[in-house]
Structure 1
Amino acid sequence: MTHSFDAPSGEIAPVSGGFARIARIGRTAIPSDAIVARFGPFEVRLATTKKEIRKAQRLRYEVFFEEGGARPDAAAKLTRRDICPFDSVCDHLLVIDLERTNRFGRPKPKIVGAYRLLRQDVAERHFGFYSQREFDVAALVRRRQGTRFLELGRACVHPRYRSKRVIELLWRGLWLYASRHRIDALIGCASLPGVDPRALALPLSFLRHQAQAPEAWDVRPLPGREANVDILEPQEIDARSALAALPPLIKAYLRVGAKFGAGAVVDAQFGATDVFTIMPLADMEDRYAAYFGAPMERPESVLA
């Protein structure tokens, strides 16, 4: 994710229900229930075809396996895609560079950012939440009956596009999606690089002391999954060093008011240590709620 939420110029054009009703962009028809927003050469919307989901999986493979060093299984190696059974039941929020061209100079739009979104009602009809493999999410759902949860996952941006423009489009698209589906809280795993929790004692201790979720929202690792972490005392933590050790995505979550469950889980396949993120939207800082929910400046209309 990004280090900044400064407002760039451009527009997301929300209409009734928080969505833009797009009939057609160029020669491509877009279903009216897909989120669509434009900012310069970029478009953000939901994937509408299996081909687009495959392209998102290919981007995830490049980011997680080729760049991040995760260990692909046989299917991933063969297809060079990050294939997951949950993809078939999730919505996929995409950022697309519409001005990308091929080597012949012909238009060839490219997916440069992606988020996987799993609503609670969909999860309950299928496999449950993805994060339930590591954390006791069921306990949270029982305590917060009536709360509508949205699980975020597989967030990635192409390394050449890690600018605030692309990140903000993902966040704004996410905000519109959450508003449209009346989501109350965002949840999901966030990862710190490395599988030795002792080496991550500083950032993990910082999250424990500075951003731990209150008891009503806390989520713990499943029995037998919790990593052994030596949590430092508050006086032992250098806040500047701890923040520098956090991945950009977790820092972005912190900026908008996210809290984190106690405990961490090692994900050996992805070479990471996972923490559980909880973001009740009612507790989101007002300045960010107002910013992501409002149109950008200098609108570029893509309405039919």
Structure 2
Amino acid sequence: MTMDVLDYLQSGDRAGGAAITPEDIARDGILGRIGTLETRIARSQSEIEAAQSVRYRVFVEEMQAQLPAEAMRCRRDFDKWDDICDHLLVLDRKIEGDTEDQIVATYRLLRHEVALAHGGFYSDSEYRTDQLVARHPDLRFMELGRSCVLPEYRSKRTVELLWQGNWAYALKHHIGAMFGCASFHGAIPEAHAMALSFLYHNARATGEWAVEALPGIKVDMNMMAAEEVSGRKALTALPPLIKGYLRLGAMVGEGAVVDHAFNTTDVLVILPIAAISDRYLNYYGADAGRFAS
């Protein structure tokens, strides 16, 4: 994404959105609406497949990911996790055609109990998130993944709706903490030495929130001494999504992981709901509570 949601929130330039009525929620499950854009959870297999096509356009055509042969043939990014996740969609209702033609952004959401019933979370392939979950038996976790927005929709409104949808969904399902892998473009961690070192020295999760990358694939993020890291340059180099998470109160796991298939360098972001800033809670809380009811 090219828009930092917290930069947007702090600018005070919130886009005006039409009110969502109880009838909208009951009929369509709408979690938010701004202008012609709406956000809700996918309701059918055809909508999920359309979201997978959006992911293909971003991850393969734009970012040069290499998916399994069947996914490349179908021109859809899909895997076994799609069958157990919920798929958050942003739709542009001004686009002519079916609902599947109107999907412009998506996020994949995996709830705690669903993950545990199917052997764990997607991020377990890179990080020891099982240890994190075990240390918090009273919290329900949610994993966020596969976030993408079509280039022409990387705007304030789309990002606001994605976050509105995530927040309303988290409230509805009584989530206590969110986590998920966020990515730097490219499979050469050293190219991101300043930003990774900044995260290591300033945002690394410790204590009960500590999470470490798996042995054998862990890349040391401590590439530069703290005094060598320029905060301004590092923040400029951080992907907007990671900056947004940090301003909400998020932390990152110990170690980065290179995902060669997706041509990315991943870090694990951990966001306890209790850590989210009052400004963000005040901004979304009342509306999200209404949507989640």
> TM-score under structure 2 normalisation?
0.91
Distance 1:213 1:12 in 2: 38
1:202 paired to 2:206: no
Out of 252, 263, 268, the residue aligned to residue 255 of structure 2 is 263
Distance 1:55 1:107 in 2: 9
Secondary structure at the aligned position of 1:266 is classed as strand
Out of 3, 7, 10, the residue aligned to residue 17 of structure 2 is 10
The percentage of counterpart residues that share the same residue type is 46
Amino acid at match of 1:139: Q
Question: Any conservation in 1 of the 2:55–2:148 contact (CA below 8 Å)?
Answer: yes
CA gap of 1:61–1:96, structure 2 versus 1, over 3 A, is: same
- Segments of 5+ residues of structure 1 without an aligned counterpart are 24-29, 297-301
1:278 paired to 2:270: yes
Question: Any conservation in 2 of the 1:99–1:109 contact (CA below 8 Å)?
Answer: no
Question: Any conservation in 1 of the 2:111–2:141 contact (CA below 8 Å)?
Answer: yes
Distance 2:21 2:274 in 1: 20
CA gap of 1:107–1:148, structure 2 versus 1, over 3 A, is: closer
Aligned to 1:43: 38
Aligned to 2:51: 56
Aligned to 1:27: none
Distance 1:230 1:139 in 2: 22
Aligned to 2:171: 179
Larger radius of gyration: 1
CA gap of 1:12–1:152, structure 2 versus 1, over 3 A, is: farther
Aligned to 1:88: 83
Deviation per CA, 1:253-293, whole angstroms, max 9, x where unpaired?
11211111111111110111111110001110000111122
Deviation per CA, 1:195-217, whole angstroms, max 9, x where unpaired?
12122111001111111113210
CA gap of 1:177–1:64, structure 2 versus 1, over 3 A, is: same
Tell me how far 1:295 sits from its aligned partner.
3.7
Question: Any conservation in 1 of the 2:120–2:130 contact (CA below 8 Å)?
Answer: no
Deviation per CA, 1:157-209, whole angstroms, max 9, x where unpaired?
01000001000001011111000000000001111112121221110011111
Secondary structure at the aligned position of 1:241 is classed as helix
Question: Any conservation in 2 of the 1:208–1:262 contact (CA below 8 Å)?
Answer: yes
Question: Any conservation in 2 of the 1:149–1:183 contact (CA below 8 Å)?
Answer: yes
Aligned to 1:152: 144
Distance 1:248 1:35 in 2: 26
CA gap of 1:20–1:211, structure 2 versus 1, over 3 A, is: farther
1:67 paired to 2:59: no
1:21 paired to 2:13: no
| Count of equivalent residues | 282
CA gap of 1:74–1:205, structure 2 versus 1, over 3 A, is: same
CA gap of 1:153–1:49, structure 2 versus 1, over 3 A, is: same
CA-atom RMSD in angstroms: 2.1
Question: Any conservation in 1 of the 2:91–2:99 contact (CA below 8 Å)?
Answer: no
Out of 219, 223, 234, the residue aligned to residue 226 of structure 2 is 234
Tell me how far 1:231 sits from its aligned partner.
2.2
1:120 paired to 2:139: no
Aligned to 1:26: none
Distance 1:223 1:279 in 2: 23
Deviation per CA, 1:73-107, whole angstroms, max 9, x where unpaired?
211211000011100000000000001126xxx99
Aligned to 1:219: 211
Distance 2:141 2:21 in 1: 22
Secondary structure at the aligned position of 1:265 is classed as strand
Deviation per CA, 1:209-262, whole angstroms, max 9, x where unpaired?
111113210110112120244521111011111111111111111121111111
Amino acid at match of 1:45: R
Tell me how far 1:36 sits from its aligned partner.
3.2
Out of 72, 84, 100, the residue aligned to residue 77 of structure 1 is 72
Deviation per CA, 1:8-50, whole angstroms, max 9, x where unpaired?
11146386xxx96332xxxxxx3xxx34322110110000000
CA gap of 1:211–1:228, structure 2 versus 1, over 3 A, is: closer
Aligned to 2:245: 253
Amino acid at match of 1:8: A
- Segments of 5+ residues of structure 2 without an aligned counterpart are none
